[in-house]
Amino acid sequence: MAKRIDGKAIAAEVRAQVKAETAQLQKKDIIPGLAVVLAGDDPASCTYVRNKKKDCEKTGIHSEIHRLPGSVSQEELMALVAELNQRKDIDGILVQLPLPKGLNEDEVINSIRPDKDVDAFHPANVGHIMIGDYQFLPCTPSGVMEMLHHEGISPEGKSCVVIGRSNIVGKPMAMLLLHENGTVTICHSRTKNLKEICRQADILVVAVGKAKFVTADMVKPGAVVIDVGMDRDEAGKLCGDVDYAAVEPVASYITPVPGGVGPMTRAMLLKNTLTATRRHYRLAQEDA
């Protein structure tokens, strides 16, 4: 039976660390500031943004939610980002995705100052991640790495398989595993012999957005299984990309949904905001 990796508990530890560091910054009259831009009324996005604000309040980070109607124009959205780029009291900017139809996400992401891009989606930050010289990491992949570190699981020398090649999760996830000396394979919708490739993985990260996509016969006995998915099953119940009940007896470690990677994603956003603040005030971590 696999050990369940408790994302809620690990995220709570991260938040406690952020809260302590924020308190030290406040003694220097420095208050980290995060601005979240929410366009439209997508229910999942609204819930996520609301939870981010609560996290900030608990840790002492100043947060602002800039709500825009779904009818907002590209020019209006870009103008808001430009304004936030110039504000000295805002250290991090996050534009909640997906944007309403008709808006150009790439143009918006590219307009965020790289030193305020706490999602690490700007091409400049993506390039730094590629070469291993980065300040920010995308929140979900970095949350996964935090979980592995917490459990004492090293990718070094291990076969690591990532299912999914998105810019937000799959690609950066592969790079982070590679930076820690894992041997990485990225699988996707055109991959042949997917089951056989997955069964070779010592660490399997699944981010495809298909409920219970990974079944027990795709998992190597004793593998570490990280489920990034957030789906609904046939009964409408929240589940992940991994068939948890079937895979748990096979794996050595597994993340649940909910309560696994999700809380870590929000926690790492707080860490990125602190990093941005320290950079803006030219503080080393030990000075915070």
Q: Which residues are catalytic?
A: 52, 96, 119
CA distances from 249 to 2, 94, 220 (A): 6, 39, 11
Sign, Cα dihedral of 94, 96, 100, 103: positive
| Three-class HEC string of 223-269 | CEEEECCCEECCCCCEECCECHHHHCCCCCEECCCCCCHHHHHHHHH
* Distance from C-alpha of 281 to C-alpha of 288, rounded to nearest angstrom: 10
Closest residue by Cα to residue 191 from 176, 179, 175, 208 = 208
CA distances 109 to 82, 93, 116, 221, 275, Å, are 11, 10, 11, 41, 19
One-letter amino acid of 204: L
What residues are paired with 3 via a beta bridge? 253
